[in-house]
């Protein structure tokens, strides 16, 4: 998530779920939260992977009816991205 998701409702939901927030504070906030920038960069890499996986229509539309064939193709596509 980026600065656009820096709202009190989302932060309260993350606290309720006991999740770590890696959303940077907006510049206009009076109290700036600490942001772990290393974790923020790692999250961005995961988002980029999901974006690359969604370019494959077989994964995006879930053509496979069985979960094991879907997961098998997901692993194959991930390996192909990793090797590229």
d(Cα 25, Cα 4) in Å, to the nearest integer?
A: 9
Residues 10-62 pLDDT 10s: 888 888 999 888 888 888 888 888 888 888 888 888 889 889 988 888 888 88
Token pair of 78 as six digits: 């991930």
**Is the CB of residue 78 less than 8 Å from the CB of residue 59?**
no
Residue range 75-83: mean pLDDT, rounded? 91
d(Cα 33, Cα 67) in Å, to the nearest integer?
A: 40
* 14 CB-near residues (< 8 Å, 6+ apart): 20, 21
pTM, two decimals, is 0.60
Q: What share of the chain is helix, strand, coil (3-state, %, to 5)?
A: 60, 0, 40
pLDDT for position 75: 93
């Amino acid at each position: 998530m980026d600065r656009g998701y820096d709202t009190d409702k989302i932060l309260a939901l993350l606290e309720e779920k006991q999740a770590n927030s890696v959303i940077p504070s907006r510049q206009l906030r009076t109290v700036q939260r600490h942001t772990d920038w290393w974790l923020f960069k790692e999250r961005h890499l995961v988002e980029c992977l999901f974006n690359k996986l969604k370019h494959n229509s077989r994964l995006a539309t879930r053509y496979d009816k069985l979960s094991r064939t879907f997961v098998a193709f997901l692993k194959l596509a991930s390996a192909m991205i990793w090797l590229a």
